[in-house]
Structure 1
Amino acid sequence: MLKVLLSSLLLFINFTGISQILEDDFEGNSTISSWYEDEALMDINFSNPFIDSSNPSSTVLRYEDAEGQYANIGFDSSSAILLDQNSTFSLKIYVPSSELTGNQTNQISLKLQNRNQSTPWSTQSEIIKTIELDQWQTVSFSFSQDEFINLNPDSPDPLMRTDFNRVVLQLNGENNTDQVIAFIDNFYFEGRDSEDEPGNPNDPVYDELVWYDEFDSDGAINTNKWFHQTKLPQGDSWFNGEIQHYTNRIENTFVGNGNLNLVAKNETFTDQGVTKEYTSARLNSKFAFTYGRVEVRAKLPTGVGTWPAIWLLGQNIQETGGYWDNEGFGNTPWPACGEIDIMEHWGDDQNYISSALHTPSSFGNTSNVGGQIIQTASTAFHNYILDWYPNRMVFSVDGNVHYTYQPDIQNDQTWPFDEDQYILLNTAIQSIIDPTFTQSTMEIDYVRIYQESNLGISEVNSEVKLNAFPNPAQNQTTIHSPKEALGQEVFIYNLLGQLINNFVLRSQSTTIDTSNWSPGIFFLQRRGPQTTETHKIIKE
């Protein structure tokens, strides 16, 4: 008998590296999660109008520069795009001469950018290739062999960079209003192996949902889970020059159609003897925790001067009117209590979101900050995620990491994050608010907190554990199960915690089709009557 710790065990996998593949044939075989357009029109499911022996594909991407100044299309990679001497981007392209105006050079540009910067183009590297009209042709881009342009001459050689995570394509240059229509197919790139396995194999797996609000009941918020913080902490005002009243009225916070609606409004409102011209809401969770994953799915408000945030504060903060201070926990001033900003968004920088840490070593205009561009921050829901480990914080949106905080020295000055924190949701109003602003809403689909399972120490046979092979997997992997596990249920999750498959073990050998999985990490969890085990599966 072996003593095995059954708290979400990982299957530790040794391998030399993972080769990154970015590809899309626009017929359903893709490792690219989403394409976007910028001052261009795009259709990624367009019938190929020029089928021939050079490209018999039935579906292609249609690109149209409708007289925009820039007319870019592109996509973001969830991991860094790493180049070496053999790394080549390739694609097929057809530009009909009948769809051109002006006298621009017939060319296609491929640009690599760091989307985490507020101006991703400022440090881009670019290759420009001329193209022929009225024929399918394959165009390749090699940053080791082709001439490239670093927009910032001080940028390192592209092969030395590890911060590229966005690919941008552009036809016939920029700063012109000429029209061009093109058809693109079979985009492909294979990068160099990453030096390390993604993540840290010694990290805990945050797989147990310990607190949540799905906002399923229409009406007022659940006051068993949330507290309205309304008291003005500075007598007649809030911090940071904010000019709103936070209220507990249903006009500012209500649940409807499965979402929390946190509404900032332009209206005259008097409270605590103070009259203000704007109202909003600030919620404190009545749950505090140490370490884990926080996942909030939200669509952000708009308007210059709006300042929505999803964040955490130390349960021990001294803050007049805060829930935990009211409950007697407040014994530490800010920033010694620690602050974790999962998401901040400013209406005067519409599509940029930021994450930050405030500690005694750096606070206010903190140096511990990172962010990324989210083109649809206010028109679509996105998953804002914090993974809080004992030694670092990892911030991401929809699985795309934009900032990791891991100080070399952890002490009270740099790491006040070994004690409980609680969640805050709010939209502040800044003094620069647009005078035409009327109201805007932060919509939240759910708030979820996961932590490591705590099932204690159990004595089990080592043969009870599942085994997956091959791992890493390409098109399939086989789960080998002990007899004791037959009849038990297996669940497979992606890194966002989304369930992608579940089944009952009927045989000691179960083959799983992984051909449609995107490259990355997945978690396979077996749930028995007394034990739970979690394994990590890598899809190449």
Structure 2
Amino acid sequence: MHKLNFLLSILFFVPLLGFAQNAEDDFEGNSTITSWYGDDCGMDNAYGNPFQEGINTSATVLQYQDNGGQYANIRFEIDETFALSQNAAFALKIYVTSSSITGGQPNQVSLKLQDGDLPEPWSTQTEIIKPIVLDQWQEVTFDFANDPYQNLNEGSPNPVTRTDFNRVVLQVNGENNNDLVTAYIDDFVYGVDNGEGSIYNQLVWADEFDGNGPIDPTKWHHQTQLPNGGSWFNNELQHYTNRVENSYVEDGFLHIVAKKENFTDQGYTKSYTSARLNSKFAFTYGRVEARAKLPFGLGTWPAIWMLGKNITEAGGYWANTYGTTGWPACGEIDIMEHWGYNQNYVQSALHTPSSFGATENHGGTLASDVSNTFHIYALEWTPEEMRFSIDGSVYYTYAPNNQNPATWPFDADQYLLLNVAIQGEVAGNFTQSPMVLDYIRVYQEGTNTTADTEELQQIQVFPNPVEGPLNITVPATLAGAQVKVYSAAGQVLVQEFTQDSTSLTLDWSGYPAGAYVLVFESGGERVSYKVVKI
């Protein structure tokens, strides 16, 4: 008997494999949460989204209004209890308007877990507090296995070992105050995809920075040549050098060190030195991950970024062979930028012919202690969009409605750059500070290499775009093939069932509009189909 295994979903938010409990609400009518309650605040969980932009263009959200209540919060309970584990977390999207805020409270959102069966549920609660950025949608995750948490009762055990939590409490800008704040919350979900959902899951290039000494010359090129005019762009103050003082590997970590020192090169003396590395690897579409700590100090400007391989920039690794196009027509992808004058804020940006320099295509987020703590900065680059995240939380998506060379010069190879620049006012006591990388990795979609390739290419998915029924047919030889559906955010959508027939019709009328990816797997091979729901 032939069986065809499909992993599909009926809703946009569904419980991920491995979780016995689930709690999700997209505030569009798809919810496993029975009721939301507001304590000492106003709440409307069917409020028209006033900011349909960025990573959240859905029509309906939850409005949270702290009108001065000392302990304002919203909450819900589940029938069972949450079993926290290394693979389970909570996530939500949030937008807080700066114009609604009074007082001097820190801009933050906290998630508290409580035992709602106790007379005083807060007495044994645990809590994670995350900083937020005002006036933009951002996704925030709360992972009790890995994030710093606070137990109200110091005698309470580690939350991941507990089985008494059945209540979730959300609070914006803290308690014990009478200040005002308005927030909008969307797409609450318990159970966060751990990255399996990305179609880019085959490692194709990496530097783990093992060992000690100079950087690996087979992977990196030192770009040191000054542009015309004797200064780097943006009025930067440093020379980039190929010295080990400015870039080296030690104990398994890359150090790119900005230093205060007089240094003469190419006929110019400058007061600072640093390093700028070009990767000798370029690619189109994929996922980039870099685990890094950032430098301290007013004036420092570290970046993990990309440029089109076709750029005509002087001294670049690719320019002599492939340089045909100037900036910004080559396209620039800033995966992570940080400025020393805004210590815990990181930003991502796109520079294109339609918007460059002080580009409007950017988004940022606050992170915790970026210079003492490693964070994972990532880019997911597909033919349709760019998604930027920190520690798995997406905070900015670039997806122009009209893709053309002016808005989307991102359909050709780009290469990686790592550097620390010095710009603007510099701290008077600055001597040196490094950006430290544990690794940088590039993943792409696996390629088909065996005899099943031909059968995989015979799969039919129609109509596409789809409004209602979606039909799938496969060759009889593909018994046992596996299919996964990924949302545009990279989540695995997961209802598992078997189908004896080689054809299947699914009703997609309840799916949100957008792009989905169906990935078929057989014999270790994979083929992908993009499906657009209208």
For the aligned pair, the TM-score class normalised by the smaller chain equals 0.5 to 0.7
Are 2:356 and 1:363 equivalent residues in the alignment? yes
Which digits, 9 at most, give the CA deviation of each residue in 1:305-364, with x for residues without a partner? 100000000111111111111x32111110000000000000100000000000000001
Show the counterpart of 2:273.
279
Which of 153, 162, 168 in structure 2 is aligned with 1:188? Answer: 168
Structure 1 residue runs without a partner (length 5+): 3-8, 22-28, 33-76, 92-104, 128-134, 141-151, 156-160, 168-180, 481-522, 536-540
Aligned pairs for 1:128-143 within 5 A:
137-138=120-121
Show the counterpart of 2:211.
217
1:343, 1:417 → 2: CA distance?
17
Question: Do 1:297 and 1:444's aligned partners in 2 also have CA atoms closer than 8 Å?
Answer: yes
Show the counterpart of 1:465.
481
* 2:168 maps to amino acid: Y
Length, aligned pairs only: 376
Q: Percent sequence identity over matched residues?
A: 46
Post-superposition offset of 1:107: 4.7
When residues 385 and 118 of structure 1 are mapped into structure 2, their CA distance, relative to the original with a 3 A threshold, is farther
Show the counterpart of 2:443.
450
When residues 321 and 14 of structure 1 are mapped into structure 2, their CA distance, relative to the original with a 3 A threshold, is same
Question: Do 1:89 and 1:189's aligned partners in 2 also have CA atoms closer than 8 Å?
Answer: no
* 2:437 maps to amino acid: I
Which digits, 9 at most, give the CA deviation of each residue in 1:56-85, with x for residues without a partner? xxxxxxxxxxxxxxxxxxxxx9x9899999
Are 2:387 and 1:404 equivalent residues in the alignment? no
Aligned pairs for 1:296-375 within 5 A:
296-325=290-319, 327-375=320-368
Post-superposition offset of 1:371: 1.1
Secondary structure at 2:310's aligned position in 1? coil
Are 2:432 and 1:439 equivalent residues in the alignment? yes
2:265, 2:428 → 1: CA distance?
22
After TM superposition, the score normalised by the length of structure 1 is 0.59
Post-superposition offset of 1:117: 8.1
Which digits, 9 at most, give the CA deviation of each residue in 1:33-57, with x for residues without a partner? xxxxxxxxxxxxxxxxxxxxxxxxx
When residues 107 and 435 of structure 1 are mapped into structure 2, their CA distance, relative to the original with a 3 A threshold, is same
Aligned pairs for 1:46-125 within 5 A:
87-88=35-36, 107-110=70-73
Which of 414, 417, 421 in structure 1 is aligned with 2:410? Answer: 417
1:525, 1:267 → 2: CA distance?
56
Are 2:252 and 1:258 equivalent residues in the alignment? yes
Question: Do 1:82 and 1:192's aligned partners in 2 also have CA atoms closer than 8 Å?
Answer: no
1:234, 1:331 → 2: CA distance?
18
Question: Do 1:312 and 1:424's aligned partners in 2 also have CA atoms closer than 8 Å?
Answer: yes
Question: Do 2:73 and 2:169's aligned partners in 1 also have CA atoms closer than 8 Å?
Answer: no
1:235, 1:381 → 2: CA distance?
37
1:455, 1:397 → 2: CA distance?
31
1:231, 1:20 → 2: CA distance?
53
Post-superposition offset of 1:378: 1.1
1:402, 1:310 → 2: CA distance?
16
Show the counterpart of 2:378.
385
Show the counterpart of 2:419.
426
Secondary structure at 2:415's aligned position in 1? strand
2:437, 2:357 → 1: CA distance?
27
2:356, 2:326 → 1: CA distance?
13
Secondary structure at 1:371's aligned position in 2? strand
Question: Do 1:117 and 1:372's aligned partners in 2 also have CA atoms closer than 8 Å?
Answer: no
Question: Do 1:305 and 1:431's aligned partners in 2 also have CA atoms closer than 8 Å?
Answer: yes
Which digits, 9 at most, give the CA deviation of each residue in 1:369-423, with x for residues without a partner? 0011111211111111111000111111111001111101000110000111000
1:118, 1:448 → 2: CA distance?
36
1:525, 1:379 → 2: CA distance?
42
* 1:433 maps to amino acid: V
Question: Do 2:207 and 2:441's aligned partners in 1 also have CA atoms closer than 8 Å?
Answer: yes
1:413, 1:320 → 2: CA distance?
23
* 1:395 maps to amino acid: F
1:306, 1:118 → 2: CA distance?
30
* 2:201 maps to amino acid: D
1:263, 1:311 → 2: CA distance?
17
When residues 125 and 401 of structure 1 are mapped into structure 2, their CA distance, relative to the original with a 3 A threshold, is closer
Secondary structure at 1:437's aligned position in 2? coil
2:281, 2:445 → 1: CA distance?
16
Instruction: Say which is worse superposed, 432-441 or 10-19, in terms of deviation.
Output: 10-19
2:330, 2:407 → 1: CA distance?
11
Which of 9, 15, 39 in structure 2 is aligned with 1:14? Answer: 9
Question: Do 1:352 and 1:371's aligned partners in 2 also have CA atoms closer than 8 Å?
Answer: yes
* 2:355 maps to amino acid: S
Which digits, 9 at most, give the CA deviation of each residue in 1:481-532, with x for residues without a partner? xxxxxxxxxxxxxxxxxxxxxxxxxxxxxxxxxxxxxxxxxx999896xx34
* 2:71 maps to amino acid: I
Secondary structure at 1:328's aligned position in 2? helix
When residues 249 and 300 of structure 1 are mapped into structure 2, their CA distance, relative to the original with a 3 A threshold, is same
When residues 269 and 80 of structure 1 are mapped into structure 2, their CA distance, relative to the original with a 3 A threshold, is farther
After TM superposition, the score normalised by the length of structure 2 is 0.59
Structure 2 residue runs without a partner (length 5+): 40-67, 76-91, 111-117, 124-133, 143-151, 157-163, 171-184, 457-476, 485-491, 500-517, 529-534
* 1:274 maps to amino acid: Y
Question: Do 1:210 and 1:449's aligned partners in 2 also have CA atoms closer than 8 Å?
Answer: yes
Secondary structure at 2:346's aligned position in 1? strand
Which digits, 9 at most, give the CA deviation of each residue in 1:162-197, with x for residues without a partner? 757479xxxxxxxxxxxxx877994515998779x9
2:382, 2:223 → 1: CA distance?
28
Secondary structure at 2:318's aligned position in 1? helix
Question: Do 1:90 and 1:138's aligned partners in 2 also have CA atoms closer than 8 Å?
Answer: no
* Cα RMSD, aligned residues only: 4.9
Question: Do 2:38 and 2:73's aligned partners in 1 also have CA atoms closer than 8 Å?
Answer: no
* 1:428 maps to amino acid: A
Which digits, 9 at most, give the CA deviation of each residue in 1:446-493, with x for residues without a partner? 11111111115244831242589xx9779xx8999xxxxxxxxxxxxx
Instruction: Say which is worse superposed, 339-348 or 270-279, in terms of deviation.
Output: 270-279
Question: Do 2:481 and 2:520's aligned partners in 1 also have CA atoms closer than 8 Å?
Answer: no
1:430, 1:226 → 2: CA distance?
24
